[in-house]
């Protein structure tokens, strides 16, 4: 028999706390009299107080900290705020603010959120998972903290990423917040600054070996299946070789995906499809040059290959139109330093370490920055691609803003206003002559919350690349002609919930068509998905 929380225990439960919104009858029944101010307020009145308090904080990081504390106290009010104005508040709980938060995570944390699963606890992961108070967990976002955004190895301070991702699951797509766990898998860190920091909260040791990581992850995945058998695992911000290796190992065994590889790929595909509506080009005629050849770059390239195949290209001809360039130069067939996952895109070409020379030789119609190298798209780079493209497509995708390959203004100015631009972090509109150009934010938040909702509603057994291609097409469908006229190639974030609903339905169609669902297909798929959505509203304490 479950014992209902009462008194102080009820107030301290963020899923159930209503603070001044508890009614008089609820206060009497739940032993709350005297523990709260006498006024009884609505959720909207409480929201006004939160807005007032939030405005007192000056910097984005201060606002992040305030919202983190609010999430610890009253999740309903927290999500009511986020959904009231997504374009305004989501950047405070995720990119770009979460990058700064992760850099200072051990210094600013109050109450711990999620689970810290340390390699020193090997053999005890099931026990640790069972310490979580909820049993019906449907989603885990887990990171090793090794490759956080464009910031690198942040160890246990990378916990801010799974916390933020799951907040977007709920705020953008209505996945119930109590059904998810953010997890940091602490293998140590090679970040010397963290190892010397007396306030660092993670393991003070060097990162584990690949063999140790693989053994521990195997125990973790099997333990999750035992303790939370309906759970989907999202791998997030792992080191690039780990990311591909683990996805390949588990994608056909359990319900899982890697957002850096597949989510990034899908949102970029959507941007490409929208951009081609501006340039009036065909996908099979494009040539792509990536600056960066890690998990994000190759993940995008893999999904792009799949999309080109669906539009009539062979796998070989599709890959031949995709080039990679990393810190050691152009990825070409004579390179001996490549990872296995990069080799499919290593084509015959003379070696070069000059990105501008690579542009002049390959003549791409699009350059995509996933390098985490700030200002890597210099004036010379933009001018080079603009020389032979009437509308050069420039995606500067690295996060946070400080790592972006170029700004929107730079891309527009250096291309004489002709560039079709998108970035990973938000940039303000740019006035170029008489035109007001609106840069798009190529953010995974358009994809992974919808993927989560579709998986949640259908209880999907596996996650496939076909589901991510469907998500990309669905996202591109929502870009209006009026948006394209201003250069915007993604739907406005102000309509994020409607966007996610549309994408979730398209993903669910694939899940049912491929026999991956563990529920019966409903007659009205849209109504079925909407019926699963969490809405931030207070529940009766007796529920």
Contact 113, 182 (CB under 8 A): yes
The reported pTM is 0.92
H-run or E-run covering 288: strand 288-291
Considering only the top CATH level, what class is 93-254?
Answer: alpha beta
Q: From CA 287, how far away is CA 144, in angstroms rounded? A: 34
Residues of the chain below pLDDT 70: 1-4, 542-543
Q: From CA 28, how far away is CA 309, in angstroms rounded? A: 64
Q: Considering the domain 262-444 in this protein, what is its CATH number? A: 3.40.50.720
Q: For residue 4, what pLDDT is reported?
A: 66
Q: Where do we find the tokens 């890597």?
A: 376
Q: Is-same-fold flag (7-82; 93-254)?
A: no
Q: For residue 217, what pLDDT is reported?
A: 98
Q: Which residues touch 160 (CB under 8 Å, ≥6 apart)? A: 98, 101, 102, 105
Contact 456, 234 (CB under 8 A): no
Q: Give the side-chain half-sphere CA count within 13 A for 9.
A: 7
Q: What single DSSP character describes residue 2?
A: P
Q: For residue 291, what pLDDT is reported?
A: 97
Q: For residue 541, what pLDDT is reported?
A: 78
**Is the omega angle on the peptide bond into residue 96 within 30 degrees of 0, that is, cis?**
yes
CATH number among 1.10.1750.10, 1.20.1370.30, 1.10.3720.10, 2.40.30.110, domain 7-82: 1.20.1370.30
What would the two tokens of residue 112 be? Answer: 């711990």
Q: Where are the domains of the chain?
A: 7-82, 93-254, 262-444
Q: Which residues are catalytic?
A: 94, 165
């Amino acid at each position: 028999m479950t014992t209902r929380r009462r008194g102080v225990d009820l107030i301290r439960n963020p899923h159930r706390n209503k603070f001044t919104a508890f009614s008089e009858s609820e206060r009497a029944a739940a032993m709350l009299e005297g523990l709260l101010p006498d006024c009884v307020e609505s959720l909207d009145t409480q929201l006004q107080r939160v807005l007032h308090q939030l405005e007192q904080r000056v910097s984005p990081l201060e606002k992040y900290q305030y919202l983190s504390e609010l999430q610890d106290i009253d999740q309903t009010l927290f999500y009511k705020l986020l959904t009231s104005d997504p374009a305004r508040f989501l950047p405070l709980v995720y990119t770009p603010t979460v990058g700064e938060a992760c850099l200072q995570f051990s210094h600013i944390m109050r109450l711990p959120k999620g689970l810290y699963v340390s390699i020193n606890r090997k053999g005890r992961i099931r026990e640790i998972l069972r310490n979580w108070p909820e049993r019906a967990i449907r989603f885990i976002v887990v990171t090793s903290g090794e490759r956080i955004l464009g910031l690198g190895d942040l160890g246990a301070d990378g916990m801010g990423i799974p916390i933020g991702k799951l907040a977007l699951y709920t705020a953008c797509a209505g996945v119930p917040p109590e059904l998810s766990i953010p997890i940091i898998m602490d293998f140590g860190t090679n970040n010397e600054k963290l190892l010397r920091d007396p306030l660092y909260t993670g393991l003070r040791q060097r990162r584990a070996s690949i063999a140790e990581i693989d053994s521990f992850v195997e125990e973790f995945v099997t333990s999750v299946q035992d303790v939370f058998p309906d759970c989907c695992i999202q791998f997030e911000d792992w080191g690039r070789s780990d990311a591909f290796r683990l996805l390949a190992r588990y994608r056909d065994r359990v319900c899982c995906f890697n957002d850096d590889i597949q989510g990034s790929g899908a949102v970029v595909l959507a941007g490409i499809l929208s951009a081609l509506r501006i340039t009036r080009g065909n996908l099979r005629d494009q040539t792509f040059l990536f600056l960066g050849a890690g998990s994000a770059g190759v993940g995008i390239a893999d999904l792009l290959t799949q999309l080109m195949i669906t539009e009539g290209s062979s796998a070989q001809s599709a890959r031949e139109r995709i080039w990679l360039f990393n810190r050691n130069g152009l990825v070409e067939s004579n390179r001996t330093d490549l990872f296995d996952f990069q080799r499919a895109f290593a084509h015959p070409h003379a070696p070069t370490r000059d990105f501008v020379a690579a542009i002049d030789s390959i003549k791409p119609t699009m350059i995509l920055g996933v390098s985490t190298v700030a200002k890597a798209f210099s004036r010379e780079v933009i001018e080079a691609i603009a020389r032979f493209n009437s509308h050069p497509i420039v995606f500067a995708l690295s996060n946070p803003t400080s790592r972006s390959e170029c700004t929107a203004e730079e891309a527009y100015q250096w291309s004489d206003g002709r560039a079709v631009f998108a970035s990973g972090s938000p940039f303000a509109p740019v006035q170029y002559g008489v035109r007001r150009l609106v840069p798009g934010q190529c953010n995974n938040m358009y994809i992974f919350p919808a993927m989560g909702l579709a998986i949640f509603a259908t209880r999907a057994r596996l996650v496939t690349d076909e589901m991510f291609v469907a998500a990309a097409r669905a996202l591109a469908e929502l870009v209006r002609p009026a948006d394209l006229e201003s250069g915007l190639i993604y739907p406005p974030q102000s309509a994020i919930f409607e966007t996610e609903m549309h994408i979730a339905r398209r993903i669910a169609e694939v899940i049912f068509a491929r026999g991956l669902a563990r529920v019966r297909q409903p007659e009205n798929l849209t109504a079925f998905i909407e019926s699963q959505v969490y809405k931030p509203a207070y529940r009766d304490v007796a529920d």
